Amino acid sequence: MTGKERMLSALRREEPDHVPTFEWFIDDGVGEALTGSRDAIDIVEALDIDGINVRADYTRETLGEDTFRDEWGVTRQLTGDCIAASRAHPIASLADHDAYTFPAPAAPHRFATLERAIERFGDRRAIILNLRDGFSDMRDLLGYEEALVQFMVEPALFAEFLDRCVEYNLAMARHAVETYGTRIVATTDDIANAGGLLFPPDQYFEVIGPAFRKVIQGYKDLGCLVVKHCDGDVSAVVDFWIECGIDCLDPIDPDAGLRLDDYKQRYGDRICLKGNVDCKGALCGGTAEDVQNEVRECLRKGGKSGYILSSSNTIHRGVKPENYRAMLKALRTWG
């Protein structure tokens, strides 16, 4: 099987010839130490990973040595991590959201990285288009604190703007499917931490739930398989997300006390699972043998079908390069 075939098989809960793997991000420094390149596409090729996560491309206006304003109007600061930290936001008041114009979803440069990945990999590897299911756009445009406050005090207005964010992501997905043949979409909106949801569950279902259902069903109607990422304890919403149509859940967060074997038993006949080598544990501070043992445990718990092995979030800059190599080697030995 090719990497793409392996990924599609796992997402459909079939049994591939080998358990597949892909990561949301691989830190440039880790990638360079292992492959000599800091380019994500080169790194995936050199490490022979089954899929690559690709985000849309947005122009930047440089504001300082480590700060820039992106096409959304969000001011960001480079920190050395995979994602720059947001520092200022374009919408001061939710009441003014009508005046905000989203970046053009089909601008000529919007899918430049996707085009590069297709040109390099063709059908040899799965190309996962990383879009959103709404809340992360609200967070970036309003600011994290303001988004959480407005969710509570202006739920109707919040839902109205959230629907605009959903429509924007669906427009991008539609263009990607029609132009590039995209078949896998991933959403990486975090709405929980180790203690549970960031919102009261009843209000989540009332305010955010309809938008989530709309965007996931929209991706499905376009013919895409959908991977849903969220850190934290998502126990309160997993059944709802599955009902909405997700095909895969990531990362079954060990920091939140979630167990891969428990989720496999409860949900393995309904969705694929992705994870769960602890990216704060052995990958950072353990030995290669520690990582290998953890991979074997994940493979035992995840099973031969409906499972994608990966870290429990990303291969971030704190991961030892040799330990990530050990993780891939163990997967290929026992997967």
Residue whose C-alpha is closest to residue 110's, from 25, 42, 172, 24: 172
Q: What is the CATH number of domain 3-334?
A: 3.20.20.210
Residues near 37 by beta carbon (within 8 Å), at least 6 away in sequence: 31, 43, 46
**Reported confidence tier of residue 81, pLDDT bands at 50, 70, 90:** confident
In this prediction, residue 83 carries a pLDDT of: 86
Span 177-188, average pLDDT: 98
Residue 126 has pLDDT above 90, yes or no: yes
In this prediction, residue 238 carries a pLDDT of: 98
In this prediction, residue 236 carries a pLDDT of: 97
In this prediction, residue 326 carries a pLDDT of: 98
Both tokens assigned to 191: 């709405």
**Reported confidence tier of residue 80, pLDDT bands at 50, 70, 90:** confident
Asked which of 167-171, 174-178, 210-214, 255-259 is least confident by mean pLDDT, the reply is 255-259
**Reported confidence tier of residue 241, pLDDT bands at 50, 70, 90:** very high
DSSP-based three-state secondary structure for 171: helix
Residue 210 has pLDDT above 90, yes or no: yes
Give the tens place of pLDDT for each residue, 267-321.
999 999 999 999 999 999 999 999 999 999 999 999 999 999 999 999 999 999 9
% of residues, the chain, pLDDT over 90: 99
Residue whose C-alpha is closest to residue 268's, from 309, 310, 313, 303: 303
**What own/partner pairs with CB < 8 Å and gap ≥ 24 does 297-303 have?**
298/260, 299/19, 299/331, 299/334, 299/335, 301/259, 301/260, 301/261, 301/264, 301/276, 302/19, 302/260, 302/264, 302/273, 302/275, 302/276, 303/264, 303/268
Span 188-203, average pLDDT: 95
| Domain range annotation of the chain | 3-334
**Average pLDDT value for the chain:** 97
Q: Is the CA virtual torsion 335, 251, 26, 170 positive or negative?
A: positive
Question: Which of 120 and 83 is assigned the larger pLDDT?
Answer: 120
DSSP-based three-state secondary structure for 98: helix
**Reported confidence tier of residue 148, pLDDT bands at 50, 70, 90:** very high
Q: Which element (helix H / strand E) includes 55?
A: strand 51-55
What is the DSSP secondary-structure string of 192-245? EETTEESS-HHHIIIIIHHHHHHHHHHHHHTT-EEEEE--S--TTTHHHHHHHT
Residue 109 has pLDDT above 90, yes or no: yes
Span 98-118, average pLDDT: 97
Residue 73 has pLDDT above 90, yes or no: yes
**Reported confidence tier of residue 202, pLDDT bands at 50, 70, 90:** very high
Give the tens place of pLDDT for each residue, 6-31.
999 999 999 999 999 999 999 999 99
Q: Model pTM?
A: 0.96
Q: Which residue has the tokens 């709802």?
A: 240
Give the tens place of pLDDT for each residue, 32-65.
999 999 999 999 999 999 999 999 999 999 999 9
Q: Which residue has the tokens 């005090």?
A: 153
Measured distance CA(87)–CA(76) in Å, rounded: 5
Tell me how far CA of residue 24 lies from CA of 67, 113, 158, 204, 208, in angstroms.
23, 15, 28, 26, 24
**Reported confidence tier of residue 182, pLDDT bands at 50, 70, 90:** very high
Residue 193 has pLDDT above 90, yes or no: yes
Both tokens assigned to 173: 């997905």
Asked which of 78-82, 132-136, 160-164 is least confident by mean pLDDT, the reply is 78-82
SS3 content of the chain, % helix, strand, coil (to 5): 45, 15, 35
Q: Are strands 192-193 and 126-131 parallel, antiparallel or unpaired?
A: unpaired
Q: At how many degrees (to 10) do helices 28-35 and 321-334 cross? A: 70
In this prediction, residue 181 carries a pLDDT of: 98
In this prediction, residue 82 carries a pLDDT of: 84
In this prediction, residue 188 carries a pLDDT of: 93
